[in-house]
Amino acid sequence: MKFDTQVDSINTYNDSHQSVHKQSKRKYAQIICFILIVVMNLSAWIDLQGVFVELPIMISFIPEGWTIPSIVGLCLCAANIMPAIVTFLRWYQGKRFSEIPYIYIIIIIGIVSCCVLAFTWQETTYLFGRERSLWLLGSVFTLCMLDSTSSLVFFDYMKRFRIRYLTAVFLGEGLTGVIPTLLLLLQGSGGEAICIQSNNDTTLEPTFTQPRFSVTVYMLLITSIIVASLIAFILLRWTNIVALADAAEPTKLNGSTLKTALDGGENSPMVPIVELFKPSKPMKHIPTSTFIFLLSLNTYNSFVLYGILPSLSTYSLLPYGQKVFYYFCVLNPLSYSISLLVSVKWSTLSVRMTIIGTIIGSIIAIFIIIIATQSPCPWWADTLHGALIMLAVWFVMTIIIAYLRITTGNLIKGEWLEEKGMFYFGITVQLGLFMGAVPMYLLINVFNMFIDRKPCQIYCVT
């Protein structure tokens, strides 16, 4: 009897030890899985973010000058043909549609396009009566097609994971601005005009400062990060890390889909067999009218944040000095990261608070638009307090609207029962961009409603 009691005690200890070991192993797997999702989502926008962050240096060396943000915005709009095609294929193929091949295409072509841009960004071609940065714009257009499609397929991919991993997507997107900013800080300021008297002493001619390392090196560093994203996605797809982390969203299966999973079907690498038979926890849900209203608000906020304001960044900031635009490119990605950190504590907002936040963000955005229309001599031009005001205004506005986007996505993911909710959420981002960027391109490049400054010329003399 005593021997049996000792054996039972040993078995109990072994079972307890194995349970603790299994839990520890799962915890580490969850951390690794979270990091892999973050790294994978770096490829979503880091290339275009990298181009925008590098604009303070590029603007002085390309013929497009201050108009380049609006041209990039138009490229983003034209690039929406690719998300439209993906949307049609999703509708046409129904349940046979898989976002996996599109993720591979986005990442691999992104690597190639960044390499091309790195070595050809300053080359120009004479076209339609003037020099144009054809290679730069062609590479940017390709990246726009890839990144705008990523808003659909990357969010769609997250339906395979539990809701807590959606934070990893937003963290990855947030880092797509932070990482280029850190590289910009290492690179140092460049492109600032230094005025030197010409040989005849009658005019001032600009020469431009150089950064610590070139735009080519900068873009190659961005390329290496996208390569890391490809590796992370391959690990998520072809290793058992998702199963070890218990990260997959539980799935209810009928007989036919169960057979597909057991036979190694398309979903089976993502869903452990043990999870297939676990019932999903009951979820709260929002009515259809609220879902549509949230999508409408997200469309409007994307219209402001991604459609209108990026095209006006040069006209609202450069009248206060080249350094101001440089610091804006440093601070703007940081504002996205702050909004993400706030969302960790308060992941969702009520519809009422979302409306109030949208109104506050809109008021600040209107102020930025007014300043841009006054270029090249807006209020407080060429003053320190004017520069500080504009940096603070941009910083606060971006935090508010970016935070509203995150909380809206979390609410839809958590409380909308249909699996296509995040897919439609991604569509509203692109719709808002299209509605804002096209009119801004016309106002800036066709109707010349906004005026830039030429280097080494005197403005705002009273």
Summarised one tens digit per residue, pLDDT across range 56-87 is: 888 888 888 888 889 888 888 888 788 888 88
User: Is residue 261's pLDDT more than 80?
Assistant: no
Kindly report the pTM of this predicted structure: 0.74
Most confident of 18-22, 331-335, 372-376: 372-376
pLDDT digits (tens, 9 = 90+) for 394-446: 999 999 998 998 888 888 877 777 767 877 887 888 788 889 999 999 999 88
CA–CA dist 340, 334 (Å, integer): 10
307-325 as b/e: b if 16+ CB within 10 A: bbbbbbbbbbbbbbbbebb
Q: Pick from 124, 434, 185, 183: which is nearest to 326 by CA? A: 185
pLDDT at 16: 57
With bands split at pLDDT 50, 70 and 90, how would you rate the model's confidence at 459?
A: confident
Any bridge partners for residue 208, and if so which? 193
Domains located in the chain, CATH noted: 29-249+282-446 (1.20.1250.20)
Q: What is the mean pLDDT of residues 265-279?
A: 34
Residue type, position 114, single letter = C
CA–CA dist 333, 54 (Å, integer): 12
pLDDT at 371: 94
pLDDT at 117: 93
User: Is residue 273's pLDDT more than 60?
Assistant: no
CA–CA dist 84, 69 (Å, integer): 23
CA–CA dist 181, 178 (Å, integer): 5
CB 303 within 8 Å of CB 437: no
Mean pLDDT of the chain: 81
Burial of 93 (0-12, 13-18, 19+ CB in 10 A): exposed
The three-state DSSP-derived secondary structure of the chain is CHHHHHHHHHHHHHHHHHHHHHHHHHHHHHHHHHHHHHHHHHHHCHHHHHHHHCHHHHHHHCCCHHHHHHHHHHHHHHCCHHHHHHHHHHHHHHHHCCCHHHHHHHHHHHHHHHHHHHHHCCCCEEECCEEECHHHHHHHHHHHHHHHHHHHHHHHHHHHECHHHHHHHHHHHHHHHHHHHHHHHHHCCCCCEEEEECCCCCCEEEEECCCCCCHHHHHHHHHHHHHHHHHHHHHHHHCCHHHHHCCECCCCCCHHHHHHHHCCCCCCCCCCHHHHHCCCCCCCCCCHHHHHHHHHHHHHHHHHHHHHHHHHHHHHHHHHCHHHHHHHHHHHHHHHHHHHHHHHHCCCCCHHHHHHHHHHHHHHHHHHHHHHHCCCCCCCCCCHHHHHHHHHHHHHHHHHHHHHHHHHHHHHHHHCCCCCHHHHHHHHHHHHHHHHHHHHHHHHHHCCCCCCCCCCCCCCCC
User: Is residue 448's pLDDT more than 70?
Assistant: yes
pLDDT digits (tens, 9 = 90+) for 118-148: 999 988 888 877 888 889 999 999 998 998 8
pLDDT at 5: 58
How many CB atoms lie under 10 A from the CB of residue 212?
10
pLDDT at 262: 34
Residue type, position 424, single letter = Y
Q: Pick from 328, 339, 446: which is nearest to 388 by CA? A: 328
CA–CA dist 73, 63 (Å, integer): 17
Phi, psi for 380 (deg, rounded to 5)? 60, 25
Residues 6 or more apart whose CB falls under 8 angstroms from that of 46 comprise 175, 176, 179, 180, 222, 225, 226
CA–CA dist 205, 200 (Å, integer): 11
User: Is residue 52's pLDDT more than 70?
Assistant: yes
Burial of 92 (0-12, 13-18, 19+ CB in 10 A): exposed
